Structures are given as C-alpha cells and as structure tokens.
Amino acid sequence: MAVPVDQGRRRYRPASGAVPAHRVRPGAGVAGAIERRGDLRRLLALLAGRSGGLLAPATLATASGIPRTTLNRYLELLSAVFLIKQIPAWSAGPAQRAIGTPKLAFVDTGIASHLLGQDATRLNEPDGAAGPMIETFVLMELARQLTWCQERARLHHYRTKDKVEVDAILETPDGRVVAIEVKAGATVRSEDLAGLRHLAHRLGPRLVAGYVLYTGQQTLPFGDRLRALPIDALWNSET
C-alpha cells in the first residue's frame, strides 16, 4: 500500500444518516452541562461549516452569540462525545507546536453534511462543501487507522505564518514524517504540491513521503518521494 498506515482488518464507511442535535442532551453524561439546546444547534451548524478549517473560538463566540467561556466548555463537551476532533498544529520544534492553532474536524461527515443541508448532489455543486467534507473524511479516516496501526504516529496539520499549508502530518516518535494534502478534484497540478515541497525542503530525509489524495483514479509521480494517489489508497492495498 502506498500510504503507510496499517490497514488492519477494519474499513470505515461514512454514515448515511445523521444524528440530530437533541441526541446530545441532559442525562447523557457530560452533555448535561449544556445550558440551552438552541445554542447547541446553532453551534453545531457553525462547526459543520468550519470543518477542515482552523478552530477560532473567538470567531465562533461572535458568530454564535455564545459567551466565550460557555463556548469553550461546549467545545470540550462535543470533543468528549466524539462529535468534533481538534487536530493539533505541527512544527519541527515541540515548543512551537504547542502554540499553533488547531484544525477543526467534524468526526462524522454524514452528520456534518446534514447540518449543512447538503446531500451528495448539493455537495458537488460549485458552491457546495465537497472540498471541506472530503478533507474532513480523510482526516478522520487517518485518525481511526492510527488507533490500530502497528506503526505509532500522531496526527497534526501544518500551517505557516505565510499560509503555506499541509492538511495532515503523520509523525512517528523517531521523527519520521508523512505529509498528506487532500484535493477534491480528479486532476492534480504541480502547484497542488507546494506545501509538500516546502516540507520536503525543510525536513530533508525526515520526510518519508508526501502524498496528494485526490478523487482521480491514477497514481501520479511528482518527483522524489512525492506522489498523487486516489483517496481509496487509504484502504485499498492494491493502489
């Protein structure tokens, strides 16, 4: 398999249905701390629309009208019940990594799409949310596979002050790195690998491989250690 994440015997299939906001309610453990159900519904919709982007609590507090302290508590609760996941920022220095802004990922893209009011047809329209949803799906598939992968690694995202970005970074305890960019399109251009090339230059041999996962069907070489792969390379050992 091209993407070095252990396949195990499991395979993720995204949910086709959706869980309404009232599923998280008082009496369901930690969710009992949620004060107003209307706030939760509004916040979930905002989070779904920001999945795959940086998590900015101050912006969310302004958009939702929820006080910042309350919103932070809601975010902790939604993480605890596995509705959202925060992907930490990565840098070559551990001290720098801790101060980076995390990326938000909605754990189930079926629920996120439902909250956005978009079915498969609507997602693929020019102003649809296919891009963020596909990126979110890949991030969560990586997170799931890392729970049973024999090769220990941690999932991060990468973004510089100059807005050079890589969607997913897998780093092993000995410092080896696999970088993954996600593209919701059937073609890959050289400029789509700008972030991967940046990391290859910065990390040298520490970068084991850089991949663009896209919706096309071909494996495409883009130089030393860089390739474009179909998204199903995540679970298809023949890719």
Q: Can you give the residue ranges of every domain in the chain?
A: 24-120, 132-234
φ, ψ of residue 234 to 5 degrees: the values are -65, -30
Cβ atoms 223, 194 nearer than 8 A: no
Confidence check: pLDDT of 1 > 60: no
Q: Which of 163, 209, 159, 213 is nearest to 183 (CA)?
A: 213
d(CA 66, CA 182): 32
24-120 architecture in CATH? Orthogonal Bundle (1.10)
Q: Which residues touch 93 (CB under 8 Å, ≥6 apart)?
A: none
Pick the CATH number of 132-234 from 1.20.58, 1.10.3470, 3.40.1350, 3.10.28: 3.40.1350
Q: Which residues touch 131 (CB under 8 Å, ≥6 apart)?
A: 52, 184
Taking the model in full, what pTM does it have?
0.81
pLDDT (mean) for 21-50: 69
d(CA 86, CA 75): 10
Rg of the chain's alpha carbons, rounded to an integer?
18
DSSP 84-147: EEEE-B--SSHHHHTTSPPEEEES-HHHHHHHHT--HHHHTSTTSSHHHHHHHHHHHHHHHHHT
Cβ burial of 166 (10 Å; 0-12, 13-18, 19+) is: buried
Q: Write out the two tokens for 87.
A: 């992907």
d(CA 71, CA 50): 15
Cα distances (angstroms) measured from residue 206 to each of 54, 84, 109, 175, 184: 26, 30, 32, 7, 27
Per residue in 64-123, pLDDT tens? 999 999 999 999 999 999 999 999 999 876 555 545 899 999 999 999 999 999 999 999
Per residue in 122-145, pLDDT tens? 998 989 999 999 999 999 999 999
Cβ atoms 192, 212 nearer than 8 A: yes
pLDDT value for 98: 44
pLDDT value for 178: 97
